[in-house]
Structure 1
Amino acid sequence: MTNHKTPFHRPLIGAMTLLGAISLASLPAQARDLPEIQDDVFQVANSGAYPPFSYVDTAGNLIGFDVDIAEALAEKMGVEVNIQTSPWNGIVAALSGGRFDACICSMSVTEERERAVDFTDSYYGSGLSVWVQEGTDDVSSIDDFEGKRVGSTLGETGNQWATENADGKWRNQTFQGLPDMMNALTTGRIDVMIADDIPVYVALNEQDIAIKQVDVGELPSWPAAIAIQKNTPQLKEALNSALAEIKEDGTYQAIVDRWIGEGVEFN
């Protein structure tokens, strides 16, 4: 990472939610494919609470990497776009229920999600990482989590991993967002933090936070893609074509440079 400044240091809303838990309680609505969207507005969702990917700035504007990606794709597709926020732990149900046409929200592609929605081609990838306070020297493997308080963000794949692997060995604590969780780690309310790597790297690039990454061996990683309703083949094709275009013409890299860091290879 370079020291390219992003707006991560501004006051943030308190619920960072990437890779949310899926509620499949609602039945899928009739999906809107591309022709219906072209006659109306492309309705896009993200959490609005996951800097620098999507968040609300001090002026009340929804901004971030995913917001710029959504706007660039809509421009290539020739459609008007309306980008809205939605709580992460219900965002898949809202999509499959027809509230949105797509979630451009850094959603990781998992088997569970693929049962509820379709995905476009990936537009970047990230993986889980483990973090402890600076000066901590008793965590070097997953075995060292035993007896510790392990933090993760509610609804994220990190939370899923921590829950599935705890088996009574450690105590899981959940948080609504990365800022709250990092604060809990630095103040000693948790001993270990599990989070997606890129947002933490960006946070550390912008703020002086006394935490360090620990290599505990191989952890899961996933491609991030755009989630859409099932049975929308024309929309999927249009989004994939638009993604290819913005990568080819430099638009994608300009968005990466703005929000992630100049020169970072992110795709």
Structure 2
Amino acid sequence: MAQPSLYSHPTRRSAIAGAAGLCTLGWGIAAAQGKGDAPDQLERILKSRVLRVAVPQEFPPFGFTKNGVLDGFDIAVARMLAGDLRVSLKTLPVASGERLAALREDRVDLVIASLGKTAEREREIDFSTAYAPTYMGVFSDSGTGPTDLAALKGRRVGVVRGSLEETELKAQAAHATAVAFDSSAPLLDAYVRRTIDAFAAGNVVAESIPDTALRERVRRVAVLRQSPCYIGVRKGEPRLLARVDAFLAQARSSQALMVNAMHWFKHSLSPDMFKDGKG
């Protein structure tokens, strides 16, 4: 089958909306009735007809605000899921370090915010199947920056505060000087201004730098770890977790995730990238 292209659709929004329509499962409220007296989270969502989702605050291309409008890869996934559930979407932009707290404190129903899985996090929340197979690495200019982790000694490396990249950089390159930023936008700005020598981020962040000339100079110094993105679900909500996984399975088979990624990640992607969602 030929790889889908955004150019086969009249607009990006219609492409994503059309793809979302393909993965609609049409589960009604009647299918969501719990066996106990207290409604579970899926039932509450369907009865309230509102899906509350924590999304990236300023972390392009996953989520960001431009001209007062929230958009990005994760926001599009949240819109598709809300459409699939036939409910309205209420987003809560959060910083990386606030994602799990927002879920635990019942401020949101789900986290769709470039969330990676760790053993520590799995003790706190549950994770869906992967919806964006990515990796985290250290990046710098070709020819002028460090060439490997050992070469980071004494170098200033930007990270997003509270992110897995920060944790992995400190574990694997303690000899580097980690410089924390609240989001990827000021991190990349600092890199452009040369106040840091390199930065640790997800590969799609590096590949989506708006400055084309800079993006073409940037190369990978090292892979810190494979880091697929998952949707976060509160513990004790097995039906909501199963419902999210069913949506993602349909979104992969309909190539809705692929269409979305082709727009936001700016690079050619393998047709196999979103096939099984295992990570």
- Of the three residues 228, 233, 236, the one matched with 2:233 is 228
Q: CA deviation at 1:54?
A: 1.1
The 3-state SS of whatever aligns with 1:161 is: helix
Match of 1:103 in 2: 111
Quote how far apart the aligned CAs of 1:182 are: 2.3
Assess if the C-alpha contact under 8 Å between 2:152 and 2:176 holds in 1.
yes
Total equivalences in the alignment: 236
Residue 194 (structure 1) shift: 1.4
Aligned to 2:179: 173
Q: After the TM superposition, which residues 1-267 of structure 1 pair with which residues of structure 2 at under 5 Å, given as runs?
A: 32-40=40-48, 41-58=50-67, 60-136=68-144, 139-167=146-174, 169-203=175-209, 207-209=212-214, 211-216=217-222, 218-261=223-266, 263-265=268-270, 266-267=273-274
C-alpha change, 1:259 and 1:186, in structure 2 (3 Å) is: closer
Q: Give CA-to-partner distance per residue, 1:99-126, whole Å, 9 cap, x none.
A: 1100111211111111111011111121
CA distance in 2, matches of 1:162, 1:251: 33
Q: Distance in 1 between matches of 2:251 and 2:240?
A: 16
Which residue is 2:17 aligned to?
A: none
Superposition deviation, residue 166 in structure 1: 4.1
CA-CA distance at 1:223 after TM superposition: 1.8
CA contact (8 A) 2:53 2:109 kept: yes
Query: Contact between 2:149 and 2:173, CA under 8 Å: does it hold in 1?
Result: no
Give the ranges of 4+ consecutive aligned residues of structure 1 lying more than 3 Å apart after TM superposition.
Answer: none
Structure 1 counterpart of 2:62, one-letter code: F
Separation in 1 of the partners of 2:111 and 2:237? 14
Separation of aligned partners in 2, 1:262 and 1:182: 19
TM normalised by structure 1 equals 0.80
- Does the residue aligned with 1:225 lie in a helix, a strand or coil? strand
Counterparts of 2:39 and 2:149 in 1: how far apart (Å)? 43
Distance 1:141 1:31 in 2: 52
Q: Secondary structure at the match of 1:52?
A: coil
Partners of 1:255 and 1:193 in 2: how far apart? Answer: 26
Q: Tell me if structure 1 keeps the 8 A contact 2:207–2:265.
A: no
Do 1:77 and 1:239's aligned partners in 2 also have CA atoms closer than 8 Å?
A: no
More helix by share: 2
User: Higher relative CO (CA 8 A, sep ≥ 6), structure 1 or 2?
Assistant: 1
Q: Percent identity at matched positions?
A: 23
Secondary structure, counterpart of 2:90 in structure 1? strand
Distance 2:101 2:139 in 1: 31
Q: So what's the TM-score if we normalise by structure 2?
A: 0.76
